[in-house]
Every structure is written in C-alpha cells, then in structure tokens.
Structure 1
Amino acid sequence: MAGGYRAEDDYDYLFKLVLIGDSGVGKSNLLSRFTRNEFNLESKSTIGVEFATRSLNVDAKVLKAQIWDTAGQERYRAITSAYYRGAVGALLVYDVTRRSTFENAERWLRELRDHTDPNIVVMLIGNKSDLRHLVAVSTDDGKAFAERESLYFMETSALEATNVENAFAEVLTQIYRIVSRKAVETGDDTAASSVPIKGEKINVKDDVSALNKIGCCSS
C-alpha cells in the first residue's frame, strides 16, 4: 500500500463486541464516546440495532472492533440470537445509581452465555461513575460479582470519558491474546476459529435486517 497509508478496511482482525444491559444505563453513550468521542445528554432509545466500528493497534496488529448496541430492544426483551451471533466480546453495563440494573446483570449474563461461545471475553461496566453522590452500587459489589463470574470489571463515565477507552481496549486486547495463544498452540495463524480475520466479512446486513424487523412492540 503506497506511502504506508492504511485504508479504513485494512485490518488484521475483526472482532464483534456486543453491549448488553438494562435500558437507560448508558450503552449508546459508551458506544458514541468510544467510536466518535461524543456524548449526548438527550439521547433517546432508538428501536432496531445500531453498530459502530473503531480500530485500535495492539502489538503492531490492527484490531477492528465492530460494536453492536441493543438500541432500545432490551426493554422489549426482543434481543435475538442474531444479535449475539459471532460475538467474541461483550460489555455488560449497569448504572451505578440504579441498583435494579445491577441486579439484572445476572440475567443478562445468563442470556449472553446461552447464545455465545464459552470463551467470550466479558467486561462488567458500572457506568455513570460521575454521579458519585447518587451511587447505589458500591465498587466492591461490582468487583465481587465480576470475580464470582470471572468477568473483567471497570467503572466508567461516558459523560466524563472516564475509563471508556480503557474498557474497550482491555476487552479487545484480551480477545487478541486468546486468538494469539490459540495460534501459537496450533502453530497456525488462522486458528482464531470463530474470530473473523482479515478479509473475512461478518454478514452484518442480514443480521441487522432480521433484528430491525422485530420493531418496537414485540413482547
């Protein structure tokens, strides 16, 4: 490639990540903060599926994250297997000011594990850490749940951009390490099995259209 320029589609690995958790915990703002460095205080739940991409460099490799957001579906319990298909990482988000969103994390984790590979990398995220005076879920509670379930854990603020970059980067790095380890063990660079590598496309269009057909009022 001339002059060392890398095109948008020039990457070494493509990893699909999913954002899960109750409605209103800040998933969409975490996504927009990480991919576009934007935060919208007035963000409304949208119906359908949204995803955005961003690439990071790890160990001289370009890791492209394709991050899927439930976009309001979680309130209709209509998240289907298409949403989870091919995911190798997940951010399970709760709102540190709303205890119920933390209590529901267990159900989300169960659903995630029912639909994904057992090796999926999961990061538990306590979002809205900027609202310190309203905290209803202590850091210790979050850590304890993460340890019990073998999850990574971070508290973030999409508003203040605290730990958002770190959370996504950590998930992507851990996925990459698993893939690299598999490659070393088998002596095969393509040992990423379920992980799409460079040149292999995730068929996003079919999954998105199937999910968007669910519409706003499925029960």
Structure 2
Amino acid sequence: MMNQESMPIPRDFLCPITREVMQNPVVLIEDGHSYELFAIETWLRDHNSSPMTNQTLTDRRWIHNYNLKSAIEEYCSQQHAIASLNQFLAFNVCFGRIPSEWEDKPTLKIRISLLGGSNVGKSTIARYLQYGNKTNFIRLNTTTTVGHDLIFFYLDQLFENKYVIVVQLTDIPGMERYESCCDNHFRTCHGALLVADSTDIDTLERIELYWYKQLHLKGKDDVEPTLICNKSDLFQENCDDDYRRIFLANAEHFASLHSMAICYTSALRGDNIRAMFKQLILRILHSKTLLKQIKADDNVYDTASVHLSDRRSSSISSSQETNISKTSSTKCC
C-alpha cells in the first residue's frame, strides 16, 4: 500500500478537438478517428472537413465507439482508486471521540495486542500513542500493568471512502502469573507488537520462547506481528559494542526467520513509535484475509447490536404494557 503515481493519459483517450478525456467517444466513419460526441457535432455544423486530415468529407456519419468508452471508464476508475488510496495513506492515528459526521458510517475494528514481559516499555508505548511527547505525564503515570488495558484510536481518513477504522490496542500484562488471561487476546488480535527491552537480551529470548510461540499456536493464521526492540536510547548509551552486536544479530535473525517487521524504538523519546504503529495498521489492511475477517466481524457485531436493540425495545414495550395494565386495574378498583 505504498503511494502510487497516476498513470499517464493514453493519447487515444483525448479528443482531438477538445484535448480532454472523452466521455462519449464516437468514430467519424470517413476518417476513422474518434471524437467527443458534442465536439464533433459542433465541428460539423461549421465545417465540411475532417478535424484530423482537413480533407473534405463526403460522409458525415458517425458511430459510437463503445470499446474505447469502456477502456476510458476503466482508466478513470483506476485513477480514482489510486487517488483515494494516496489520500488514505496520509492518515493520522487519533485518540478521542470519532467525529460526529461519521457516526452513521460503517465501522471496522482492528485489534492489536502489546505482548512482552514486564518493564519492557509496553505501557509507555501505549501512553506515547495516546498523548504524544508529553514525557512528564508518561514518566509520572506509567506503572506495571496488572490487568489488560484497552485503548481505542481512530484513523482520520475513511478506508475505501466509506469505512471508519477503529483501532483497539490491548496492553497485556507481562508478569508470568497473568499469562493465562491472555489466550483470548491471542485468538482475536489481527496484529501484535512483540516488545523486547534492547538492554536486556533475556526479554528477546522470552519473546521467542513464549510470546511468539503462543501467538503462533493460538492466534489467527494471518496475524501481522512486529518485533519492537524498545529503549534504543539506553541501548546506545549504556551497552557495550559486543552486547549491541549480539543483540542486533539475534533480533535480526528472529525477525528474518519468521518474516516479520522489526523496529527499533525509544518509547520515552517517541522514536519511531507512530511510524511503527501506522505501518502495522497498513499491513493489516493490506492483508486480504485479515481484511475479510475484520469486515465479517463488523457485520456480526452490527447484527448482534441490532438484535440486542430489538430485544431491549421489546422488553421496554412489554414493561410499558404491564405498567399500563396495572394502572388501568388500579383505576377500575
């Protein structure tokens, strides 16, 4: 889903008279060239010659060029799709309420899980995505996650010109005694951020031996994982050359072995956090299988919401009827 350049307009799609893309092309029978219908009709009112050859016409009839019209319509459709895609790729990830003008539009929910051990910086990553570079807030308010935290974002561009994209980010507790509560998040997430502390190589090993293995066994077949090597600021300042070389080699090998993206971040400074999050969202939306699942989940959610609403309405109606009946009985007495 990289930015795509517009295709050059084929010369045959341009009317020789108007020099614009034709919408209703016709072929002038005698000279064999195609023109925009209104343009050739206007020309023939004032001329008795071919616009292309300037030769006198003995036959002023024309016929519709349906093949050319179909080719032009396909080209315009492709151009519109490219323009829409390029506009969507400029999206920002926003935290807060969805704009009121989008309330009636269909919604697709992307579920992303933050996975990794304690003290690797998962919560700091989540807080940075929420509040940006307000580092004082992050430092004062980041604590060890005990239960999973849910944070919701939305994209400020419509997907496919109609869908509101909501992103549910789940910060999973990293302590071992809470690992049993993570199974549901393995099963339901579309993407995962596997976070290791780049100053502690044991956290990378834990990603390999537990978190990725559980995600692979219990998660969706096409879940999109990203390896996050966090605390790159401390990695550069406090780790010696030998440690850095070993850590980088192990991280690159693990990511390459499982064909996953790798990103080096500093959650405290905000290095690469938003870019990493945006790229994961794009990879999820680019996956045909995941996108199909997300759309199916959205339809199930909408249907369930309608049924729940119907049941509530029915319950309210029954309650109202009961109250009316009681009131009537009381009046009769």
**Counterpart AA for 2:263:** M
C-alpha distance in structure 2 between counterparts of 1:139 and 1:108, whole Å: 19
Other-structure match for 1:36: 131
Decide which moves more: 63-72 or 101-110.
Answer: 63-72
Higher strand share: 1
Q: Identity percentage over the alignment?
A: 25
Other-structure match for 1:50: 149
**Counterpart AA for 1:103:** E
Other-structure match for 2:202: 100
Return closer, same or farther for 1:62/1:193 CA change in 2, 3 Å cut-off.
closer
Other-structure match for 2:73: none
Other-structure match for 2:258: 149
Partner secondary structure for residue 51 of structure 1: strand
C-alpha distance in structure 2 between counterparts of 1:27 and 1:195, whole Å: 29
**Cα deviation digits, residues 118-175 of structure 1 (max 9, x gap):** 1000000000111112244543432221011111110111111111111111111111
Other-structure match for 2:169: 67
Decide which moves more: 108-117 or 11-20.
Answer: 11-20
C-alpha distance in structure 1 between counterparts of 2:232 and 2:177, whole Å: 23
C-alpha distance in structure 2 between counterparts of 1:23 and 1:10, whole Å: 39
Query: What is the aligned length?
Result: 191
Match status 1:112 vs 2:205: no
Q: CA deviation at 1:27?
A: 0.4
Partner secondary structure for residue 233 of structure 2: coil
Match status 1:126 vs 2:229: yes
**Cα deviation digits, residues 45-94 of structure 1 (max 9, x gap):** 13111110111246655421101011354454333322323111000000
Does the CA-based 8 Å contact 1:48-1:72 persist in structure 2? no
Other-structure match for 1:5: 101
Q: CA deviation at 1:12?
A: 3.8
Q: CA deviation at 1:199?
A: 7.9
RMSD of aligned Cα (Å): 2.9
**Counterpart AA for 1:24:** N
**Counterpart AA for 2:126:** L
C-alpha distance in structure 1 between counterparts of 2:207 and 2:230, whole Å: 13
Higher helix share: 2
C-alpha distance in structure 1 between counterparts of 2:285 and 2:249, whole Å: 28
Does the CA-based 8 Å contact 2:116-2:203 persist in structure 1? yes
Q: Which runs of 5+ in 1 are unaligned?
A: 184-189, 204-219
Other-structure match for 2:112: 17
Does the CA-based 8 Å contact 2:113-2:191 persist in structure 1? yes
Return closer, same or farther for 1:88/1:133 CA change in 2, 3 Å cut-off.
same
Q: 1:79 aligns with which of 181, 191, 196?
A: 181
Other-structure match for 1:196: 297
TM-score where L is the length of structure 2: 0.51
Partner secondary structure for residue 160 of structure 1: coil
From the CA coordinates, give the structure whose radius of gyration is larger: 2
Q: CA deviation at 1:28?
A: 0.6
Other-structure match for 1:27: 122
Partner secondary structure for residue 278 of structure 2: helix
Partner secondary structure for residue 269 of structure 2: coil
C-alpha distance in structure 2 between counterparts of 1:27 and 1:74, whole Å: 15
